[in-house]
Amino acid sequence: TVDMLIEHDPDHPLSKVITRMFGEERPKLNDTEKKERQSLKLHNNAPHMTKLLLDIGQDLVQESTYCDIVHARNLPETPKNIETYKQVAAQLKPVWEALRKRNEPYKMKMLSCQVCGFKTESRMILQSHRSTVHFKNGKYQCAMCPEFDTNEQRLINHYLESHLVIASKDEAQAKYPCLICDEDFQYKGLRDTHLRTCKKDYSRGPDDQLMINRWLWERPPIDPTILQQQQAAQQQQVL
């Protein structure tokens, strides 16, 4: 279903999309199935594909945003009032869980690199990743086949000759990334020096972990005053 939606032209009816993807060979329906299909068409209008895609995309983005809020990840800044933030996160958690369940049919299958375990939902991203020479266990490994070599340039030549791919060299990964911004450092001392000037309003623990992560998996109590305000607002809407 997801592949159909992604490749679908919103100006074409869904029947043409199905024909284009599966051809004219369709299983024949018996009388009962034909009646059920007619009943569905009568009582359920076909959705506009563009609107359907927009709704699915909006739900996926909303789920991702709520997930970050609930788990305190990728926050633009440290919450000024941690207790209030914990209450908001606790109230958003059931909404996020409902969105995650509703979006499950529209999530694409995770694809992984067999050499390093890198995962992505995009075939294009995986293809780009696999065009990079992998260095593992003291040898250079091709991510498209079992071929390996101790010489990086020879393996790059293998990519071109065997797979018609212009391979790129494997860049060394930074050992000490900054937990606040996107900077990477090869040495811990450089990272520690950077942390002194990076977002001073963030509080850091002894292991350079954000203090906000200390309550990450604790379920905070819900403030009854917030529930009372919500109930009062709902009553005003009814009136």
Q: How far apart are the first and last CA of the chain?
A: 43
Confidence (pLDDT) at 27: 63
Percent of the chain beyond pLDDT 90? 7
Mean pLDDT throughout 67-90?
A: 86
DSSP letters spanning 59-78: HHHHHHHHHHHHTT-S-SS-
CB 110, CB 120: distance < 8 Å: yes
**Tens of pLDDT, residues 84-113:** 888 988 999 999 999 999 988 887 788 888
Sign, CA torsion 35/40/41/42: positive
Please name the residues in contact with 71: beta carbons below 8 A apart, sequence gap of 6 or more.
216
Task: Name the burial class of residue 226, with classes exposed (0-12), middle (13-18) and buried (19+) by CB atoms within 10 angstroms of its CB.
Answer: middle
Contacts with 94 (C-beta within 8 Å, 6 or more apart), sequence order: none
What is the pLDDT, as a whole number, of residue 158? Answer: 92
What's residue 127's pLDDT? 86
- Contacts of residue 68, defined as CB under 8 A and 6 or more positions apart, other chains included, come to 74, 75
Q: Encode pLDDT of 20-40 as tens digits.
A: 655 665 667 788 888 887 887
pLDDT above 50: residue 222: yes
Quick: pLDDT tens for 135-185. 888 888 899 899 988 888 898 999 999 988 888 876 666 677 777 777 778
